Structure 1
Amino acid sequence: YARAAYAAPKGEIETMLAQIWAELLGVERVGRHDNFFELGGHSLLAVRLVSRLSRAVGVELSLSTLFARPVLCDLATGIVEVLSRADPQDLPAIAAVSRDEPLVLSFAQQRLWFLAQLDAAGTNYHVPLALRLRGTLDRSAWQRSLDRLFARHEALRSVFVDSEDEPRVALLPPDTGLPVIEHDLKAGPDAEATLLELCHEEAHAPFDLAHGPLIRGRLIRLSDQEHVFLLTQHHIVSDGWSMGVLVRELSSLYRAFLAGQGEPLPPLVLQYPDYAAWQRQWLSGERLQTQAQYWRENLAGAPARLALPTDRPRPEQQSFAGATVPIVIDADLTRGLKRLSRQHGTTLFMTVLAAWAAVLSRLSGQDDLVIGVPSANRGRREIEELIGFFVNTLALRLDLSGEPSVSELLERTRRTALAAQEHQDLPFEQVVEIVKPPRSLDHTPLFQVGLAWQNAAVEAFDLPGLSVEPAGNGLDQVKFDLELSLGERDGIIAGTFGYATALFDAATIERQRGYLLALLRAMVADAGQPVGRIELLSSDERSYLLEELNRTAADYPSDKCIHELFEAQVR
């Protein structure tokens, strides 16, 4: 690709922008003619960039400004224009609150606490981690590292006490220690079968939110040189981003303690309870009204359910039993999707979202549908290094009416995704209360399908003397009917297609995977064609549906009249 020659940033705004870009994108230098998205920017980094710019220049900038002006010098000009017509304002910082007063739950924690009251023995909101450790494990240094991590993050030490008015957060003492049960299978018969039983037992053991701890571990010794470590957290104290923080800090602590060194991590200035208190103060007044009004208008009249054809009738109460099939978008198609995204000003996530919406529309016969998308909700720099439940869910309503072309659908999807991200501060639980969709025990409110795009870098354990790889059989629970989880790594988009086994067979999901890949290839080949006319069926499936199922010819006695054949059938 042709690249503009490097030109150094000019002026204070461009220099500040270049510094922020370099830090977020992990590049050495940024020129004034560089494009944020061509340097590796995506939706999550865009949110973090806008947050840092807002803090740096004192006014709130919109995501649409960045997407409209992704080149550094153009964005700097846009910032100057915003500054010229706005009064600079200090955005409220997150400040530490007193631990002597009752601590409040964040909005997301409050929803999970409520769900736990309905199903105290439920395990659908467990966050599991299963690791196979090969090599020499220093169990003392390992336990010390876990205990230090537990003491360091107040979210992990949080318990939720029911008071007269509403639940409150209480903190377990820092010296409580992270509970780890040890099992020695070295001398036992059939260690792998016992291991599977222990993994199942761990995954299905409920947490007590009122007493905690809400994180626990099991260390299973298979031999002197092989262990399996199971770490389970309740979602109310952790999320996907938190797992990256945990992996990074646990590696750092173990390396230091193994070498006989002291605490290697700098102290945390803020903790999750500080964020929860700030969230309730910040999301109020005019800001709350603006966000609430957006979701009220955007989701008004949205279909309560996506009418997908299922292999079995929907049970009266939603089952969370699930399974996955893998999905891989090869390097050639990934390159084509990147090119298509650049041409239409979308991110890879937006392009794949548009494609999957088109597939779901064809399967359901609906041109108005809602897809749930998790948002890391880590725009503010102060909370990037915290473990806690920050993730939010955005209900994106996609419009496929009027036979849009590929280009038009991409534009609609881009507008929808940007508007939702600009109003992502309102917690999903409050959106549900505002919209008041019909409630039923057999499906989730607002949407029943989700698309998760893994933008954050995948953290890997770095433990001296140990090789670390995942253990266990993967996902056996889902929160929605369908869950598409994707991310780009080494030039290939890959992930999993999760599905509720109460509704679908694996073969059905494999066919849907084929439809999505076929539609993506067609979008790359011709962005001007109507999406609704793209052929999704493979030649084999098309032949089966139109020819094999319609082969009705049969031999019959041709020497008899019809009425004689009829009489024979009666007899």
Structure 2
Amino acid sequence: MSQSPTAPPQARPADPPAPREEIAARIAALFDDVLDRAGCGPEDQFFQLGGDSLTGMRMLARVHEEFDVRIQVADLYHHNTPLALADRLVELRAQPDTWQRSLASTTRRRRGKPFPLALGQEGFYAIEQVTRGAGFFNSVLLIQLVGDVDVTALTGAVEDLVRRQTQLRVVFCEEDGLPGQRIVDQPPEITRLDLRGRGAQALRRLTQMEYLRGFDLHAKPAVRFTIARTADDTYALVLAVHHIVFDAMSQEILLDELAHAYRSRVGEERARPPLRTDYLDFAEWQRDVLCGERLERHLDALSQTLSEPAARIAPGEPTSRFTARIDDLEIPPDTVNGLDRLAMAHGSTLFLVLFTAVAEFAQRRTGQRRQVVTVQTANRSRPGSEQIVGCFSNMLCVGVDVDPAGTMAESLARTQASLGRALAHEEMPFDHALALLEQRGWDPVAAGHMPQLGFTLQQGSDDQIDLPGCTMRAEAVLQEAENFDPTSFPLVVELGAGQGRLVGKTHHLLDMWPGDSFPVARDELLSTIASFARAGGAAPTTP
């Protein structure tokens, strides 16, 4: 029922806007806090002070808390001093774009109605309908707790985690021919095992079985928990989860949520309140805003990036088979030191240095200056998303001009500019954009314009979390040797950074790398990375 408006109370005049110098001083204090340092000045560069991708995400969240203005990752690359960020904040103040729970979302929750999928979930759902839960998109996390473990508190912590994170308690459905997702309000199913006396192989078999065992997305939530006792003082929590509800940053969030819930269950912390927004709100917001002129800008940018045939990095012919081999990849410590020094010297990041090296590797192999490399982005610049488990991550195509005769400063500057342009389109799901372009009559896959190389760098979190009476360690369990990878490019390089190490995997399509061609390419990649480290002042070991 509508009501007649009443006269509002007399509001006091709004405070005048703070001058840019005052805003810059507050941002400098945030730099110090996030980077755990002191004395940041107005012209100091965030990345030159030691910032990286992970601390950059924290900085975005802190700026939003302090100023109630949302900035994007691209803003931090282009405006990476307190003064430059102050100018950008002043510019953005007149452009509010908040993500809040809508009235429609609240109504759906009350009535138990399904929510739409986020656009990034649609591809996973479609493949699942074809493969019928074959487990191609499983992630497995092995969490080991050692010491005086309170298994009752651990079980309760898992329940609290699922209660707070709605993506861990949704099932997928179809209504009126359209896929959706519905919240299931029931406690998680937790399998309990006793593996004492059966050796490390028993736990390894368990994690590999969880990797291969698929999900029926229509029947149960896309997550499984197993608590296995492996020794008198050791428990293993094995978590298997489908990528449709999970991404790389979700792992860090999940571990933080689990640790806090455990402390709460043993009485050392207060329980966290429910989240004000969740992934289902994001899915609705995404569909509301990715339309019209905003959508066209994203599609035009991708069309331009993929406008030319891709330079073929692998010697074999393109294949419709997706059998990939996964191999370990580790960068020697002295090389890592040189890369870190190079990033610091140029006010850059380890990610940007490695991306530039990967692009140069591709140029050396193909002989072409223009390269298009895909990167995985967190896509979590929305306020509140840094607390939510869900499939936010997105793939970006970055077109970069590689000049083999250019200086290191020029190469890094070109890469930074290219990444900045690409990050302006971070919110547009890559697979959805490709589908829309195909509907309009242009298929970059069939035309041979798709990127040949993907690169990912994950910032590692703390290896160990101290809990009351015990410690918790977590590691992602990876598939071994050959596997079916329906999203693979001819070559994907994945690295994780932490404690001075760079360790990861390479994925390469077997049919496109005959004979010993891939080991040769792998050595070329390591040699290119080593040459960048030498530019940073290291004397690294080359392969």
CA distance in structure 1 between the partners assigned to 2:470 and 2:449 by the alignment: 45
CA distance in structure 1 between the partners assigned to 2:410 and 2:529 by the alignment: 15
Asked whether 1:466 is paired with 2:475, we answer no
- Distance of aligned partners of 1:111 and 1:315 in 2 relative to their CA distance in 1, 3 Å threshold: closer
Aligned position for 2:253: 245
Asked whether 1:107 is paired with 2:119, we answer yes
CA distance in structure 2 between the partners assigned to 1:209 and 1:221 by the alignment: 28
Aligned position for 2:7: none
Aligned position for 2:278: 271
Question: TM-score, with normalisation over the residues of structure 2?
Answer: 0.81
- Distance of aligned partners of 1:208 and 1:461 in 2 relative to their CA distance in 1, 3 Å threshold: farther
Q: Is the 8 A contact 1:102 1:169 kept in 2?
A: yes
List per-residue Cα deviations over 1:208-248 (Å, max 9, x = no partner).
11121211112223332233321101111111111111111
1:389-468 to 2 correspondences below 5 Å: 389-400=391-402, 404=406, 406-436=408-438, 437-439=443-445, 446-455=450-459, 457-458=461-462, 460-468=464-472
Task: Tell me the CA shift for residue 524 of structure 1.
Answer: 5.2
Amino acid at match of 2:363: S
Asked whether 1:475 is paired with 2:485, we answer no
1:338-353 to 2 correspondences below 5 Å: 338-342=340-344, 344=346, 346-353=348-355
Aligned position for 1:498: 506
Aligned position for 1:294: 301
List per-residue Cα deviations over 1:112-142 (Å, max 9, x = no partner).
1112112123222111112333333322221
Amino acid at match of 1:277: E
Task: Tell me the CA shift for residue 401 of structure 1.
Answer: 6.5
Asked whether 1:363 is paired with 2:365, we answer yes
SS at match of 2:51: coil
Task: Tell me the CA shift for residue 520 of structure 1.
Answer: 3.3
SS at match of 1:337: helix
Higher strand share: 2
Task: Tell me the CA shift for residue 72 of structure 1.
Answer: 2.1
Q: Is the 8 A contact 1:272 1:386 kept in 2?
A: yes
Aligned position for 1:306: 312
- Which residue, 478, 486, 493 being the options, matches 2:495? 486
- Which residue, 163, 174, 184 being the options, matches 2:194? 184
CA distance in structure 1 between the partners assigned to 2:401 and 2:303 by the alignment: 17
Q: Is the 8 A contact 2:142 2:477 kept in 1?
A: no
Q: Name whichever of 374-383 and 360-369 sits farther off.
A: 360-369
- Distance of aligned partners of 1:180 and 1:445 in 2 relative to their CA distance in 1, 3 Å threshold: farther
List per-residue Cα deviations over 1:349-374 (Å, max 9, x = no partner).
12211211222233344444332211
- Structure 1 residue runs of 5 or longer lacking an equivalent are 1-8, 528-535, 542-571
List per-residue Cα deviations over 1:39-85 (Å, max 9, x = no partner).
222356556656876897788877666545533235435655x47xx
Task: Tell me the CA shift for residue 343 of structure 1.
Answer: 5.2
Aligned position for 1:166: 178
- Distance of aligned partners of 1:161 and 1:319 in 2 relative to their CA distance in 1, 3 Å threshold: same
Aligned position for 1:533: none
Question: TM-score, with normalisation over the residues of structure 1?
Answer: 0.77
CA distance in structure 1 between the partners assigned to 2:431 and 2:226 by the alignment: 33
- Distance of aligned partners of 1:458 and 1:390 in 2 relative to their CA distance in 1, 3 Å threshold: farther
CA distance in structure 2 between the partners assigned to 1:51 and 1:361 by the alignment: 36
- Structure 2 residue runs of 5 or longer lacking an equivalent are 1-18
Q: CA RMSD for the aligned pairs?
A: 3.6
CA distance in structure 1 between the partners assigned to 2:531 and 2:423 by the alignment: 28
Larger Rg: 1
Q: Name whichever of 462-471 and 376-385 sits farther off.
A: 462-471
Asked whether 1:89 is paired with 2:89, we answer no
Q: Is the 8 A contact 2:260 2:269 kept in 1?
A: no
SS at match of 2:467: coil
CA distance in structure 1 between the partners assigned to 2:263 and 2:68 by the alignment: 41
Q: Is the 8 A contact 1:300 1:435 kept in 2?
A: no
CA distance in structure 1 between the partners assigned to 2:228 and 2:369 by the alignment: 51
1:203-218 to 2 correspondences below 5 Å: 203-218=211-226
Q: Is the 8 A contact 2:305 2:398 kept in 1?
A: no
CA distance in structure 1 between the partners assigned to 2:161 and 2:72 by the alignment: 36
- Which residue, 122, 128, 133 being the options, matches 1:121? 133
Aligned position for 2:524: 515
CA distance in structure 2 between the partners assigned to 1:506 and 1:340 by the alignment: 35
CA distance in structure 2 between the partners assigned to 1:384 and 1:150 by the alignment: 17
Amino acid at match of 1:392: N
Aligned position for 2:10: none
CA distance in structure 1 between the partners assigned to 2:146 and 2:58 by the alignment: 37
CA distance in structure 2 between the partners assigned to 1:51 and 1:470 by the alignment: 25
SS at match of 1:461: strand
Aligned position for 1:149: 161
Task: Tell me the CA shift for residue 94 of structure 1.
Answer: 2.3
Q: Is the 8 A contact 2:397 2:451 kept in 1?
A: yes
Amino acid at match of 2:528: L
1 or 2 for the larger relative contact order (CA 8 Å, sep ≥6)?
A: 2
Q: Is the 8 A contact 2:140 2:476 kept in 1?
A: no
Asked whether 1:12 is paired with 2:33, we answer no
Task: Tell me the CA shift for residue 144 of structure 1.
Answer: 1.3
Amino acid at match of 1:455: Q
Aligned position for 2:232: 224
Aligned position for 1:375: 377
Q: Is the 8 A contact 2:299 2:433 kept in 1?
A: yes
CA distance in structure 2 between the partners assigned to 1:77 and 1:400 by the alignment: 31
Q: Is the 8 A contact 1:309 1:364 kept in 2?
A: no
CA distance in structure 1 between the partners assigned to 2:341 and 2:195 by the alignment: 53
Asked whether 1:326 is paired with 2:329, we answer yes
